[in-house]
Structure 1
Amino acid sequence: MIRVNIQQQVLHFIVFLVIQIPFLYKLILFNSAFGFFYIGFILFLPYALNRSLTMVIAFLTGLIIDAFSNTPGIHASACILVAFVKDGWFNLMMGTSDDDVYLDWNELKVWGSIKYLLPLIFIHHIIIFTVENGGFNSFGFLFSKILYSTLYSFIIVFGLSFLMAPKARRI
């Protein structure tokens, strides 16, 4: 059975949002890489947490980002999809169904983080930028924006997961 440390989850929520909201549209690399690293909070929600609860948390997280970025529902819908598929994707990539898995750097390490985080961040960014663009117009620019933003967000989420992991188990 999974044990959820609510205080730790609230701290993670605050850390990801405090980092995301002030820098939402200020940290843009080369006019094509946007850092949406709040998605890390959803990706690191405890494994096997009730799916409905996970989706409600993802919706509220996306809604808060939508409120600050003036995007009506784009982030909320992308977060809901990621929350819906994250446990299934973890099972597929890691080949485990143990309920006592903690989704942090200590559990995933480098290769596990790449296999778990990168595709889900890519899906999140596809939804955001495709809806924002109004479809697949200017496909080359849209794809480069998705790709560069995914890499940028992955680096930030990976770094934050390393920094937030308990130091005693980090080795």
Structure 2
Amino acid sequence: MVRINYVQQALHLVIFLLLQIPFLYKLILFDVAFGFFYIGFVLFLPYGLNRSLAMLIAFAGGLIVDVFSNTPGMHASASILVAFAKDSWFGLTVGSSDDDVYLDWNELGVWGSVKYLLPLIFVHHFIIFTVENGGFNSFGFLLAKISYSALYSFTIVFGLSFLMAPKVRRI
């Protein structure tokens, strides 16, 4: 059974959205890399959480970003897909059979974070930028935009996961 600390999850949502909406959404690197860090909240929802509930939470977070960035449903739909696939992807890449796994720095480590986070962030960005572009026109530029934005977002989500992970006491 998954135990969820709802206060902690709500605090994480507020942190990710407060970073995303007023500050980091405007921080664009070289007119190619856009940071969508709110997806980290969806990726760090507890493993084994009811998939429908995870998709509903992802929809709400994506919709809030859509409202403030004037993108009709793009972030919500990409977030829903990531929420749908995250537990299956975690099982394939990291491979845990525990139901009580917390997706944080202490559990994943460096290589586990790369294997788990980076592909899902890439898929999220692929959906957003492909829809925004209206298809695969200018495929080289589209692929560069997706790749650089995914690496940029991964760096920030990875850093936030390190900062927000509970400290482990070694005895």
Q: Structures share a fold, TM > 0.5?
A: yes
Contact 1:24 1:69 in 2 (8 A): no
Q: Which amino acid aligns with 2:14?
A: I
Aligned to 1:71: 71
Aligned to 1:136: 136
Aligned to 2:15: 15
Q: Secondary structure at the match of 2:22?
A: coil
Q: Secondary structure at the match of 2:116?
A: helix
Aligned to 1:160: 160
Aligned to 1:28: 28
CA deviation map 1:44-101 (0-9, x unaligned): 0000000000000000000000000000000000000000000000000012221010
Aligned to 2:6: 6
Query: What displacement does 1:111 show?
Result: 0.2
Q: Which amino acid aligns with 1:124?
A: H
In structure 1, distance between residues paired with 2:98 and 2:51: 16
Aligned to 1:122: 122
Contact 1:82 1:120 in 2 (8 A): yes
Q: Which amino acid aligns with 2:50?
A: N
Is 1:150 matched with 2:139?
no
Contact 2:25 2:36 in 1 (8 A): no
CA deviation map 1:105-135 (0-9, x unaligned): 1100100000000000000000000000000
Aligned to 1:106: 106
What is the 5 A alignment of 1:57-96? Answer: 57-96=57-96
Contact 1:59 1:77 in 2 (8 A): yes
TM-score by length of 1: 0.97
5+ residue gaps, structure 1, are none
5+ residue gaps, structure 2, are none
In structure 2, distance between residues paired with 1:66 and 1:34: 15
Contact 1:37 1:157 in 2 (8 A): yes
Pick closer, same or farther for the CA change 1:133–1:169 going to 2, 3 Å.
Answer: farther
Contact 2:106 2:168 in 1 (8 A): no
Runs (4 or more) in structure 1 with deviation over 6 Å come to none
Pick closer, same or farther for the CA change 1:46–1:109 going to 2, 3 Å.
Answer: same
In structure 2, distance between residues paired with 1:160 and 1:24: 13
Aligned to 1:43: 43
Query: What displacement does 1:24 show?
Result: 4.6
